[in-house]
Chain A
């Protein structure tokens, strides 16, 4: 049972405190488990603060996403292999990511939000951000992928030739 009016204080990895509605935190498996572990009953408010291993700036983005998705159905529907696709990100989510996923940012925020969603066990946010990253890679050349992933080629010419041979085996 969830008490929507109950508020939960979260302390971030950089020492900030944020108080949010339980209506939002119910989407986080990590926070819900922490609250359950406190063994609170209907009237046991205020709760002790829940420490999250996420910095304040990233948590603010997570809360913004949670606020928009506060009424999403729970549990988050598991997708089968056949249902997994990356081209169905809702318009609001796309606009949300575009606000901060700039070229200058070099996807640092995107990686931070993916990691936060994983740590906080927010399946909807994790799914959406993983799709976003997958879409960046999809259809790109190897060189473009290296640029997106911020990697240098560490293969020797001989190793690259061997990989091309292996890939050709698969393609022929």
Chain B
């Protein structure tokens, strides 16, 4: 884990009590509302820094609970069952629908991709048109 996760570290601030909380606590609060990351990073310089460091720090962003691939239904058919976390009841698997819904942890995942230099090499596939779309920092 990064040095920045040390509980002793606090953010320099004079006015906002939230910013005076230990960084670990701030991140645990963000854990409850990952869908707010875009708004939160627009609040102030300090919040932008907090959210961005949170997005970079998060090692694991769970979007689905389980994926079951079943080939036993018919010889020429594959059945895929996707189990969603309870909170994301409206979560849709297709990338373009996820974005329309703009729900919960998908925002955090998108932000993490945006902040990660490695995203220059990431592609995403929109199932409906089958096209591959490059995700680049300049996009």
Co-assembled chains A and B: yes
CB of B44 to closest CB in A, whole Å:
5
Can you name the residue of chain B whose Cβ is closest to the Cβ of A164?
A: B42
Query: Given A82-B85, A171-B99, A166 and B114 touching (CB < 8 A)?
Result: yes
Per DSSP, are chain A's interface residues mostly helix, strand or loop, or mixed?
helix
Whether, in the assembled complex, A131 has its beta carbon less than 8 Å from a beta carbon of chain B, the answer is yes
Given A86-B33, A111-B18, A171-B110, residue A130 in contact with residue B42 (CB < 8 A): no
Tell me, yes or no, whether A36 is within 8 Å of chain B by CB.
Answer: no
CB of B21 within 8 Å of the partner chain:
yes
Q: Indicate whether B2 reaches chain A with its CB closer than 8 angstroms.
A: no
Chain A 78-109 interface residues, beta-carbon cutoff 8 Å to B: 81-82, 84-86, 107-108
In the bound complex, do residue B32 and residue A170 qualify as a contact, i.e. CB atoms below 8 Å apart?
no
Which size bracket describes the interface of A in this complex? 35 or more
Dominant SS among interface residues on chain B? helix
Instruction: Check A118 for interface membership: any CB of B closer than 8 A.
Output: yes
- Among the listed B22, B45, B62, B114, which residue makes an inter-chain contact with A81, where contact means beta carbons less than 8 Å apart? B62
Contact string, A149-168, partner B, CB cutoff 8 A, digits 1/0?
11111110000100110110
> Is B75's CB within 8 Å of the partner chain A?
no
Is B131 an interface residue, CB under 8 A from the partner? no
A139 to B38, CA, bound (A): 11
User: By the criterion CB–CB under 8 Å, are A170 and B21 in contact?
Assistant: no
A167 and B42 contacting across the interface, CB-CB below 8 Å: yes
On whether the beta carbons of A145 and B110 are closer than 8 Å, the reply is: no
What residues of A have a CB within 8 angstroms of the CB of B25 in the complex? 114, 118, 126, 130
Query: B16–A141 contact, CB under 8 A?
Result: no
Cβ of B16 and Cβ of A150 under 8 Å apart?
yes
| Complexed CA–CA distance, A150 and B35 (Å) | 21
Selected A-B contacts with CB under 8 Å, 20 pairs: A81-B60, A81-B62, A85-B32, A114-B21, A130-B28, A130-B32, A134-B29, A138-B33, A140-B36, A145-B43, A146-B44, A149-B18, A150-B15, A150-B17, A151-B15, A152-B44, A155-B45, A169-B139, A170-B113, A171-B38
